[in-house]
Amino acid sequence: MNPGKLLVCAAAVVMLTACTSSAERQREEENATRGAESYTELGVEYFRQGNYELSRTKLEKALELKPDFPQAHGAIAVLYEKVGEPELAEKHYKKALRLNPDNPREENNYGQFLCFQERYKEANKQFMKAAKNPFYASPQVPYTNAGLCAKRIPDAKQAELFFRQALQIDPKFAPALLQMAIVKFESGQFLGSRAYLERFQQVAEHNPSSLWLAVQTEHALRDPAAAGRYAILLRKNFPKSEQAIMLLEWESERRSGR
């Protein structure tokens, strides 16, 4: 037997084995990714339903399958923030951004977390990174969140600037329209508040906050009929809301002359 042929055959076997192992590893990686994606989607859906325990189970399973899956880290960070575990939340926010740098959605979410931790400068940095990302389709979202965060400082002037930037990008962005209506009301510009509420109403359904603001705005403009219509809607559509309770107390005080 020719030794040279044996060497050639042996080399071919080694190459075939290497190729097979590489293909198997690729299949395993693809299966792990698909599994992590599925478990993350389930975890997010359970979170939306308010089933936090099952959400955590699914997201942990996603990370068990693929420890470096950024979407799972981002989702479980939001979950930990919701259930009041800020240290774990921050750990996973940071891991998500390390694995997928310059992800505007994660930057926005992390900014919201930092804002609620009263770390306002850090929060604003994250919001601006998200807002100025040229590949982000919704920069009005982090601009609006930056405005809400500025209100917590409080810095009303800076907040208004952020809301205006959001509306320059999307003039029909309902959250920013409502916030501008609030800004105008709080500064005593009641006609401006009415105008923004009218714009809000054109693009979104009223919610308890917008209806309560409309009641107060129309009362300030001395239009009791309009205020009454908004009050009826608030009582009818959101009878158990915090705003409906405030409306009842407000009406009671007015009747008693206080």
Better pLDDT: 1 or 164:
164
Banded model confidence at residue 9, pLDDT cuts 50, 70, 90: low
Band the pLDDT of 53: cuts 50, 70, 90. very high
Helix (H, G, I), strand (E, B) or coil at 115: helix
232 CB-near residues (< 8 Å, 6+ apart): none
Instruction: Give the burial class of 133: count Cβ atoms within 10 A of its Cβ; 0-12 exposed, 13-18 middle, 19 or more buried.
Output: middle
CA distances from 139 to 124, 150, 162, 246 (A): 13, 17, 11, 34
DSSP code at position 153:
T
**Residue 175 structure tokens:** 């959250």
Provide CB contacts within 8 A for 221, sequence distance 6+: 190, 191, 194
Q: Taking the mean position of all CA atoms in its chain, how far away is CA 141?
A: 8
CA–CA gap between residue 248 and residue 211 (Å, rounded): 13
How far does CA 110 lie from the centroid of its chain? 9
34-101 belongs to CATH 1.25.40.10:
yes
pLDDT at 212 over 60: yes
pLDDT of 163 > 70? The answer is yes
Percent of the chain with pLDDT over 90: 84
pLDDT band at 21; cut points 50, 70, 90? confident
For residue 195, count other CB atoms closer than 10 A to its CB: 16
Q: What is residue 25's predicted lDDT score, i.e. its pLDDT?
A: 79
Vertex 161 angle, CA 159 and 162, to 5° = 65
Tokens of 102: 């310059």
Name the pTM for this structure: 0.87
Interatomic CA distance for residues 35 and 24, integer angstroms? 16
Q: Residue 10: pLDDT above 80?
A: no
d(CA 251, CA 61): 52
